[in-house]
Amino acid sequence: MLAAVRYLQGRLLGRMESLGFNFTDQATLESLILDVVDTSRIEGEILNTEHVRSSIAKKLGLEHSEFIQTPRHIDGIVDVILDATQNFERTLTKERLLGWHHSLFQSGYSGYTPIDVAQYRTGGMKVISGNFGKEKIHFIAPAADKVPLEMDSFLEWINNDQEHDLVLKALIAHFWFVTIHPFDDGNGRIARAILDMILTRSDQSKIRFYSLSNQIFKEHKEYNKIIETTQKGDRDITLYLKWFLGCFQRALLASEQNLELILDKAQFWDVHRATTVNDRQRFVLNFMYDHYAKELGYLRTSTYAKLVKTSNDTALRDLQDLVVKGMMHTEGTGKKTNYLVMSPKNLRIPKIIESKSIKR
C-alpha cells in the first residue's frame, strides 16, 4: 500500500512540475484552499471560501483580482497551514506549536468558551458526544500533569527519527498527537497541520497538488471511528495505518482529476491564444475554471451580468460572442439557456452556477 501511494505521489508531482510556474501556483492555491476549508469543516466550522482564497493569495504573493479584508480567525488557520507546508523543513518545537495554537484562538475563546491559549492544557480532557445525561465517552486523554513529558517525547521523535518512511511517519505523528491531546481545543486541526508538514517533507516540494484534509472530510465518520478504535486497542496501529494509506491514495487519485482541469485550462487558452476577448469575458472564463476545481458549471446570462456588474443585454452579447468564437457552447433555449466552456478535453461539467451562489 505504501509503495502504491509513493508511486502516485511521484507521478503527480512530476506532472505538476511540468506545468510551468503559473499553473503550479494555481494548483497550489486550490489545494491549500481545500486544506484550510476542510480541516475546519471536520471540526464543524464553516469558513467563507472566498475569504480563505484571498488570505492565501495575499500571503503567498499571488495575483488575485480583488483582495478583501479577511477575519482574524481565517488568517489564523491560513497562517498555520502555510507555515506547516511552506516551511516544512523547520524543526517542530514547543514554541512553534504554541504559536500555531495562538493563531487558531487569538480571541482567547473557543466559540463562547474561554480556553487556555498558547499553553498546554491544565485540566482533564474527554472526547464526548450525545445529549446531557446520555453522553458517550469516546476517549479519555492522558492527565494534564503528564502532557509536558509526553510532548517532549513526541517532539524528540518528530525531529530525530530516521527509521520510518516519511508517509508512515506523518500518519503515526497524527495519531500520537491526537492521543496526547495537549490543548484545550484545536488538537485535530494542529494534528492535521503536522500531518501536512511531514507529508510535504516526503514530497520535498512546496508545490501542493493534493488535499488530504479534503479527503478526510469526505470520510470523516470513518476517520473518527478508526482513531477511536485504535485508541481503545493495544499498541498495534496497523489497521489505522492501512485505513489512512487508503484515504491518502484516494486523495491522490482525486487530485489527478483536479489536475486534469488545470491542464484543460492551459490547453483552452493555448487553443485560443489568438482569439480576442474583452476583460469581462476573460474574467468569467477564468472564474469558471478557477472557482470550480472539480466541476465547472453551466452559466446563465443573469449570473454573468452579476459577476462582471453589467446589464443583462451586455452579458447576452458577450456570451453569444464567446459561442461564435468557439469558446463556449449552449444547452437549452430562451431564458433557460445554459452556457458552458468548450472544454478541449471534453470534460463533462454537470453543475449549474446560480446567481445567488456567486460571491465576488
The whole-chain average pLDDT of the chain stands at: 89
Percent of the chain with pLDDT over 70: 92
Distance (Å, whole) CA 197 – CA 213 = 12
Q: Which residue did the predictor score with more confidence, 352 or 236?
A: 236
Model pTM score: 0.81
Distance (Å, whole) CA 108 – CA 117 = 6
Grid coordinates belonging to 150: 509526553
User: What average pLDDT does range 107-133 have in this prediction?
Assistant: 91
Other C-beta atoms within 10 Å of 271: how many? Answer: 13
Residue 46 per-residue DSSP state: P
For residues 261 and 294, the answer to whether their CB atoms sit within 8 Å is yes
User: What average pLDDT does range 116-125 have in this prediction?
Assistant: 96
Distance (Å, whole) CA 213 – CA 219 = 10
For residues 353 and 340, the answer to whether their CB atoms sit within 8 Å is no
Sign of the alpha-carbon dihedral angle for 306, 61, 167, 102: negative
pLDDT at residue 24 tops 90: no
pLDDT at residue 241 tops 80: yes
Position 64 confidence tier, pLDDT thresholds 50, 70, 90: low
**Residue 115 CB contacts under 8 Å (≥ 6 apart), including other chains:** 105, 108, 109, 184, 185
Distance (Å, whole) CA 122 – CA 105 = 17
| 185-206 burial code (b ≥16 CB/10 A, e <16) | bbbbbbbbbbbbbbbbbbbebe
Distance (Å, whole) CA 352 – CA 179 = 43
For residues 321 and 328, the answer to whether their CB atoms sit within 8 Å is no
Distance (Å, whole) CA 193 – CA 177 = 11
Q: At 71, which amino acid appears?
A: P
Nearest to 216 by CA among 232, 200, 196: 196
Half-sphere exposure in the Cβ direction for 309 (13 Å, CA) = 2
Q: Where are the alpha helices (DSSP H) in 89-211?
A: 94-104, 147-160, 166-180, 187-203
pLDDT of 291 reads 65
Q: Which residue did the predictor score with more confidence, 64 or 240?
A: 240
Distance (Å, whole) CA 110 – CA 73 = 11
Distance (Å, whole) CA 245 – CA 251 = 10
* Strand residue runs (E) in 185-337: 297-298, 328-331
User: pLDDT digit string (tens) for 300-334?
Assistant: 899 899 989 999 999 999 999 999 999 999 988 87
Nearest to 50 by CA among 35, 33, 63, 38: 33
For residues 283 and 242, the answer to whether their CB atoms sit within 8 Å is no
**Domains and their CATH numbers in the chain:** 2-260 (1.10.3290.10), 277-357 (1.10.10.10)
For residues 28 and 36, the answer to whether their CB atoms sit within 8 Å is no
Position 354 confidence tier, pLDDT thresholds 50, 70, 90: very low
